[in-house]
Amino acid sequence: MLKFPKEFLWGAAASAPQTEGHSLMNGKSATTWDKWFEMSPEKFNDNQGPSNTSNTYEMYREDVANMKKIGLNSYRTSISWARLLPDGQNLNQEAVDFYRAYFQAMLDNGIKPIINLFHFDMPWWLMEKGGWENRESVDAFGFYAKTAFEQFGDLITEWTTFNEPMVHVECGYLYKFHYPEVVDMKRAVQVGYNTLMAHVMAVNEFRNSGINGRIGIILNVLPAYSRSDDHADLQAKKASDLINTQSFLDPAVLGKVPEELIELFKQNNLLPTTELEDAKLIKFNTVDFIGINYYQPRRVQAPTNPKIPAEMPEDLYEPYDWPDKEINPYRGWEIYPRALFDIAMMMKDKYHNIPWYVSENGMGVADEARFKDDSGMIDDQYRIDFIKEHLEQLHRGIEAGSNCFGYHMWTYIDCWSWLNGYRNRYGFYSVDLDDNYKRTVKKSGLWFKELTKNNGFELEK
């Protein structure tokens, strides 16, 4: 049997906007998602907006009980900034009461909450001022973080600042999957830099708060895989690693923005506006741990017809379609478990073996109800096989000395996925949107219960 370390965290992750519902109720103000859906509902799968999502606001006690039933000992979700501070300044007491009751329910059931502060849900009042493009957002986020630590610091010991900050940068300012649908690499770099400084400001507030616990950040980073060892392909890999992996990981862990990244941006007229004290703040506000979300590898090749200076990332590196890849036929993403071992070695060898965990891994499946058996349960053996393959590689990394302390799946129950709505399902429990959000455990949930009970699983020969 593959056994994992004692006290290993077995759990799942989600976020406030994707599960809570009540998006414009109970004192919460609008986010970019609420407004974008109001303006352009046709962009969202099946007109599924952020209003109700999985109704966790009303059903959190049932959800926590279900988490316990399948053996979760930890769970990450986020606080909604627009719910806690609807205008950015004044506290919404109803939100405080809701989150305190939700977090206490987890603690009462032996589930460690890991609480994240930002998961793509920019308050509209700040978006109207320019969002992350406006340096004012850094101080606003610092105030929000300080407020969260004050209100929940007696309950929560594990905090994270951002989930996948590169996603709102590239989806909002390069590829039009998030509001404000801008395509401008210079502005994208500024958004990324201000996000980094907002993260730093939150860590600084945490250190000054005096509360017990640890703080980290959730990143979707891994070493890129180049098409070949030719110089041009390796240069493309280098650019991809600097932009997609080291841009946040190096400052968060090593306390410094890589000089090579600064030079790359300088060569392409992409340097962001900075302030005098920023480097010092970055240096003295590194994190205690890292969460890494991993779904599929990043494969790159040299750009075929690049513009100089670069106008898009594809002028520095292009995606490479590996002909031998294994594909998840229900989602279209490559399946490559070996990357978890490579990530484990990257963290061990390049980042001082800082504590880290797999904060998301998972398998999205479209039209998953077709796999429902006669009892009404979804037979997702494909998801169980996916988890086993990834855990085997993670175990290799731990045996090789990497300091990994947990594994979280995306997600515990099917949740709303931005423009994709409920098209792709990921959960251990299904959610029936036509039957009062009824939760039904899937086969993978029952298997996960055995995994957590044994703290490992038998390898098939």
Q: What are phi and psi of 33, to 5 degrees?
A: -70, -40
Pull the structure tokens for residue 287.
Answer: 């994190």
Burial of residue 43, with CB atoms counted within 10 A of its CB: 0-12 exposed, 13-18 middle, 19 or more buried: middle
For residue 187, the one-letter residue type is: R
Angle at 175 (CA atoms; ends 172, 176), nearest 5 degrees: 55
Dihedral over alpha carbons 397, 328, 172, 315 (to 10 degrees): 80
In our burial notation (b when 16+ CB lie closer than 10 A, e otherwise), range 184-214 reads ebbbbbbbbbbbbbbbbbbbbbbeebebeee
In Å, how far from its chain's centre is CA 178? 15
User: Among 133, 158, 205, 360, which one carries the catalytic annotation?
Assistant: 360
Euclidean distance between CA atoms 133 and 129, whole angstroms: 9
Q: Provide, for the chain, the percentages of residues in helix, strand and coil under a 3-state DSSP scheme, each rounded to the nearest 5.
A: 45, 15, 40
| Cβ atoms 90, 60 nearer than 8 A | no
| Cβ atoms 29, 17 nearer than 8 A | no
Angle at 318 (CA atoms; ends 315, 319), nearest 5 degrees: 155
Q: Is 86 left (phi over 0), alpha (psi -120 to 50) or beta?
A: alpha
Residue labelled with tokens 């590829």: 175
Nearest to 409, CA basis, from 3, 9, 4: 9
277 counts as catalytic: no
Residue labelled with tokens 């395509």: 183
Question: Which value, in Å, is the radius of gyration of the alpha carbons in the chain?
Answer: 21
360 counts as catalytic: yes
Beta bridge partners of 94: none
Instruction: Count how many Cα atoms sit within 13 Å of the Cα of residue 87 in the half-sphere of its side chain.
Output: 3
Pull the structure tokens for residue 41.
Answer: 């509902």
User: Among 164, 205, 318, 368, which one carries the catalytic annotation?
Assistant: 164
Q: What are phi and psi of 10, to 5 degrees?
A: -115, 120
Spatial neighbors of 355 by CB under 8 A, at least 6 apart, are 288, 289, 290, 403, 404, 405
**Residues recognised as catalytic:** 164, 360
